[in-house]
Amino acid sequence: MIEKDYNSEEEFIKNYNPNKYEKPSVTVDTLIFTIGEEVSNNYRELENKELQILLIRRKGHPFKSKWAIPGGFVNIAESVDQAAARELKEETGVENVYLEQLYTWGEVNRDPRMRVISTSYIALVNKEQLKVEAGDDADDAKWFSISAKVLRENKEYQEDETVYEKVIELTLKNKEIELSSEIKITKNIIGNIVKTNIEESSNNMIAFDHGKIIYYALERLKNKIEYTDIAFNLMGEYFTLTELENVYEVILNKKFTAANFRRKIEHMVIETGKYSNEIGEKKKGHRPAKLYSFNPYWN
């Protein structure tokens, strides 16, 4: 890069040509997660919880009528964070929720139209706070439950190289439709250097590389829920410990023992003195639970 030697920074900037290089387009995608519940018929039983993500059916090309993570272009006058928050608000009406940058996807051929670099964000919202239940939306946005299954796992010890492969099937479904994506994770170990590669080998009705992105987000959630307090972003103001436990179980896809779970998180919550049968219409045929709130001083 050879440039004329300007004396002052001001002079330099005045003469700078910002279109010297061909530029990629930059977009944001916001993965909106929430906890949904299936109501049960039994008056005694609690609702079944599941992790859900909001997807949008594309109206135009490319990937017309396939399902995609909501997103759009970053305007020239807004920060990338702001663009993500804007997309979130447009789609769900909510603001001031948990919003964390996930990853920037920079492969050359992600979008058939042109070179697009996309920064993805994770948003965690509590379903009670959603003004409009998405799904009524003109956009054809719907919540999909998320589940992932390991299809294959393989480790090969060669001479100078260890290769680890795992194939995951990601399933996104609701009452009307079921989407799926097969993701292959490859770890390549040579000497001390571990290289990890993620690719989407096949996919059913999911736009772009969004299956891969959802998988990546799920892994991030699993990690962060273990050592941070992000789970509380999915809770309402008051919650029972069983509800909180369900959120952990749904994201980590494993069961806890109630007694152990309570000890694990007791320093993060505050007893409110309220009970689950006092608020709302949740009359259940069993012992009412104490309602807790998040303890902002826990660490």
Partner DNA sequence: GTAATAGTGTCTCTGAGACATTATCGT
Partner DNA sequence: ACGATAATGTCTCAGAGACACTATTAC
Cβ-based nearer residue to a second copy, 84 or 168: 84
Q: Which does 46 bind (CB under 5 to 8 A by kind): DNA, a second copy, none?
A: DNA
Cβ-based nearer residue to a second copy, 179 or 269: 269
DSSP string, the chain: ------SSHHHHHHH--TTSS---EEEEEEEEEEEEEEPPSSSSSPPEEEEEEEEEE--SSSSTTSEE--EEEPPTTS-HHHHHHHHHHHHHS--SSEEEEEEEE--TTSSSSS-EEEEEEEEE--GGG-SS-TTSSTT-EEEEEEEEEEEEEEEEE-SSEEEEEEEEEEEEE-SS-EEEEEEEEEEEEETTEEEEEEEEEEEESB-TTHHHHHHHHHHHHHHHHHHSSGGGGGS-SSB-HHHHHHHHHHHHTSPPPHHHHHHHHGGGEEEEEEETTTSTT---SSPPPEEEEE-TT--
Q: Which does 264 bind (CB under 5 to 8 A by kind): DNA, a second copy, none?
A: DNA
Determine phi and psi for 36, rounding to 5 degrees. Answer: -105, 165
Q: Which does 106 bind (CB under 5 to 8 A by kind): DNA, a second copy, none?
A: a second copy
Cβ-based nearer residue to a second copy, 36 or 72: 72
Cβ-based nearer residue to a second copy, 80 or 130: 80
Closest approach of Cβ 83 to a second copy, in Å? Answer: 8
Closest approach of Cβ 99 to a second copy, in Å? Answer: 9
Cα-Cα-Cα-Cα torsion 214, 216, 219, 223, nearest 10 degrees, comes to: -120
Chain residues in the site for a second copy (CB under 8 A): 1, 3, 5-6, 8-9, 12-13, 16, 18, 21-26, 60-64, 72-81, 83, 96-98, 101, 103-108, 112-115, 117, 119, 126, 155, 157, 162, 189-194, 229, 232-233, 235, 237, 293-294, 296-297
Cβ-based nearer residue to a second copy, 155 or 267: 155
Closest approach of Cβ 202 to a second copy, in Å? Answer: 18
Q: Which does 158 bind (CB under 5 to 8 A by kind): DNA, a second copy, none?
A: none
Cβ-based nearer residue to DNA, 52 or 240: 240
What is the C-alpha end-to-end distance of the chain, expressed in Å?
A: 48
Q: Which does 131 bind (CB under 5 to 8 A by kind): a second copy, DNA, none?
A: none
Q: Which does 198 bind (CB under 5 to 8 A by kind): a second copy, DNA, none?
A: none
Q: Which does 225 bind (CB under 5 to 8 A by kind): DNA, a second copy, none?
A: none
Chain residues in the site for DNA (CB under 7 A): 42-46, 240-242, 256-260, 262-264, 276-277, 283-290
